[in-house]
Structure formats: structure tokens, C-alpha cells
A = this chain, B = another copy of it.
């Protein structure tokens, strides 16, 4: 099995295949022009944040109340100081990841209030669920990042969750992670906890934490998000700037319009971070979805967002920015055929468009409302496959197996050929959950579904989990910080 669990897992994927270039240069120029036109004619609102309005006014934008308009080309020029790639350092240096360039970093799903498992069904997530998903992401070789809000721990007060979540990422994993964005003070707490682990001076010069900030699409930035964005940028940490467009609701139903809007919204966020701290790291984010027009429900893993993501990838490369896309989207409530059809289509789009950071790579169910245990490990099979797919097609002499053809000749089998034996263990990627046995073997083993095998794998993985070591002084300092911050404020439950 290629890169089996026995070997050291790669810290991230180096992409060796081309990106899929859907549009021509002329087409891309047109999309950029239309994004500029939206920003010049309609503009964006930046609400309840005079500081950001002032920064944009100083940079040459036309500020009218809370509406900010930009001359064509202005926003792109304000993004020029952002790095094309950077390293997010993990507390285990061998887990540090490159973000941008030829790198693809896979991270678990983010933000679900519910969790689901085969035995217990759907229920609200808890901090125990949160820690379980951090452990699963730590254990698998196919995810390179611990993610952020892997589920909402609704048993912890709203204003204290971020402390337990960041602590869980830091204690139960040694991979990179994302901090809180739900309030500027929570972003600040997240960064402060990173400083305890990495050292304040190191953090000021290196990226050690990401913060996923959403545009309030269409064309609005609210103060919660700009506040978090500015906190991360000021600390030289990387905001992930993500429009949130469900076509027909937060944007037009047509792909070209949705992508132009997304480009405009993203660049304004990137520009804001650069105005706060030029040269600070940032990720160009992408979140496109479609709509079931009979019901108005969002749909996922459909062909329109897959096409849109290809264009967004091209725009991010032209802007010289690392790209975030989404992985295993679905609107299915359970990890069934619909779920995996949609997730495979969605993940494939992320791989083809050249995404450097793929959030929601594992676990997503029900339009993001539910994080599924079985779905998580089912998605891991696709994440593993991505390693082989992005590694591409090799053309060295040994791959052509001419010695094998001479040895085997016409009409014989390659099973025992020297060439086969030489490549036996590394030849093919083997997904953990696929049943490739004969019908009779499968029947006699109980006719299991993928979901059932997945449930068994989750149990096995969590049983095997061992916590990565952490310096005792640092662990104590983290605990002290969390306790002190929790004690400083009353519980809020909404």
C-alpha cells in the first residue's frame, strides 16, 4: 500500500500534475473586469468598523457612509504585498505545511453544530466530540492539518468555547490549526495561546495559526469578521478570506456572476489585511454552492460550483495568492450514495482547480450542519487517493516495464513477474474502507456497507490514539491561560 500508515506520512502533498485551466486569458480578464465593475459601481459595505473605512479611504477608495467603492484595478494593487506562499508552522516541525505554490494541505470539516454516528444518530456536538475529531485528524496520514471548529462544542459556553477548542488542537494534535473568529477578542485569545506554545517572538515572524473569516455575502463585511481579520493580520497570522455564496441567495444563480462577486469580495478582504500589515500571510478563499430551485435549499457537489471553482483557481493564481477550496461537500443527511457522489465531485474540483488548502476534506454532512464520524473516515479514502492523483504519471524507464513484457510475453500473467514483485508494495493506492473481495467473501463476512466498516474503523482509531508529547511547562501555561480567561467572564449561552 502506497504510503501506508507504517511509514512517515507526508507533511502535505506536492502537486505534480497541471491545474485544469478552464478559461482562456481573455475569459479571465473579463471576469476580473466584471469584479472591478461591481466594486466600482455597486461597492461593498463595511459595517460598524470606522477603522477599516479609514484604511480604505487612505488607500484611495471612495467611502460614502459604509459603502466603499474602488476604481478598477485598485483592490488588486492593494493585494500585491501579500506573499504567494508561506509556511504555517506546526508545533511538531515535521508537520509544518507550505501554503501556496505546489502544495495541497487537507484539513477536516469546519463549523457543524451537530455530529452523527451510526449508533447514536444525529445530536448536538460536545467538547468530547470535538476532541475525538481532533484525534482522528491527528491519526490519519491523509490530513495535514487539524482544522478549526471541527464541530461546535455546544456543552461549553459560547464565549469560552474558543479556549477549549484551541487547547484541544494544541494538546491532542501536533498539526497546524485554525483559531477563533467569532469575536475579535476570541481571535486575540487564540493568537495568545499560540504565543504560549511557539513563543511571542517566533509568532510575530512566522505563521502558526489561521483564521477563517467569511464575507457576509453579497458585498458586506461586518465588524465581527473584519475585527478577526485585522487581529490575525496584525499578528502576522493568516486570515482565510472566504465569500459565502449560495447561488440564488447570497449571489446570482449564474456562475460567471457568482465568481466575479466572489473575486471582488475576497480581494477586498485580502486588501484589508495588507493595509493592516503589509506582507502578512493570507489565503484567497472559495465557497460556491448551488440551490435546489424547487425548495430553495442549498445543494452541494453539483456541477456548477465544480466549474466555478476551476475559474476561481485561475483567478487566485493570477492574483498570486494561495487558494483555499472546499472538499467533501454534500447535502445528504447520512454517508450514503448521494453523500459520496457529491463529496467525490466536490473534492475532485478542489484537486483540479489547484487548491492549496482544502478545508472540509473530511466529515461534512447535511450542508455543513452535521459532522459525521463515519463520513469522516469515508472521506479519508478520497483524501488518500488525492495523494496518488496529485503525484501524477511517472515516465521513468522502470515504470514502462519493458523487462516485464520481455519476461512475461503475450498471453501470460504479470502476477509473479520480477517487475511486479519489485513494485508490489508501492504500486497501487488502497483505500481503507473499500471492499474488493469476492461477492461470496463479502456475503460471508456479513454483507457490510461502507458505513458499517467506517464505524468499526473509527472505534479502532480512537482506541489506538496516543497523545503527542508536550513540554510540561507549556502545558501548564496553556491550562493557566484557559482557566484565567474563563474565570474572567460569566458564561454566555447564546
Contacts and interface: CB of A to CB of B under 8 A. Distances in A.
A490 interface: no
Contacts of A410: 42-45, 67, 218-220
Contacts of A38: 402, 405
A393 B423 contact: no
Interface stretch (A127-135, A173-181, A190-198, A378-386): A378-386
Contacts of A18: 20-22
Interface residues of A, number: 128
Contact of A216 (B293, B396, B411): B411
Interface string A37-57: 110011111000000000000
Contact of A406 (B42, B369, B451): B42
B253 A427 contact: yes
Contacts of A493: none
Q: How many copies does the complex hold?
A: 2
A204 interface: no
A224 interface: no
A302 B388 CA distance: 9
A37 B402 contact: yes
Given A252-B404, A292-B428, A336-B450, 11 more contacts: A1-B293, A23-B393, A67-B410, A254-B400, A256-B393, A260-B400, A292-B430, A302-B431, A310-B393, A332-B435, A341-B450
- Which 10 pairs from chain A and chain B are nearest by CB? A257-B401, A344-B344, A252-B401, A253-B427, A219-B410, A256-B399, A337-B450, A303-B389, A303-B388, A45-B410
7 contacts: A41-B405, A260-B400, A295-B437, A338-B435, A338-B450, A340-B344, A341-B381
